[in-house]
């Protein structure tokens, strides 16, 4: 179980960083700093990819026939992963919207 816990914590940490970067991107775009917004989107995507890759480790284990026990920690990690993905999509759209409003 320690392996699954470690993966869950890696997911939570990575996607939490991603979500924060996406929020920073929206804030930067609202302030008209589109260069910083784009940089934050990029940082968010990189952090999200790390969390997604950690999640893929669990999927690979399952595909190989290993039992991956769902518990509250892993459920939380999955929830945070999905939340960060939604924030990323919205951040990209907000940055695009702020750019068009700034023209």
Residues with catalytic roles = 76
Q: What are phi and psi of 17, to 5 degrees?
A: -65, -40
Residues in contact with 103: Cβ distance below 8 Å, sequence separation at least 6, in sequence order: none
b vs e for 56-94, b when ≥16 Cβ sit within 10 Å of the residue's Cβ? ebbeeeeeeeeebeeeebbeebbebbeebbebbeebbeb
- Check if the beta carbon of residue 10 is closer than 8 Å to that of residue 72: no
């Amino acid at each position: 179980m320690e392996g699954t816990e470690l993966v869950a914590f890696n997911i939570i940490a990575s996607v939490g960083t991603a979500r924060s970067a996406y929020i920073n991107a929206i804030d930067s775009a609202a302030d008209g700093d589109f260069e910083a917004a784009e940089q934050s989107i990029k940082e968010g995507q990189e952090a999200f990819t790390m969390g997604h890759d950690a999640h893929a480790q669990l999927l690979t284990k399952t595909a190989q026939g290993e039992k991956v026990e769902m518990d509250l920690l892993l459920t939380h990690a999955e929830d945070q992963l999905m939340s960060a993905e939604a924030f990323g999509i919205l951040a990209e759209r907000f940055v695009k919207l702020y750019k068009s409003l700034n023209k």
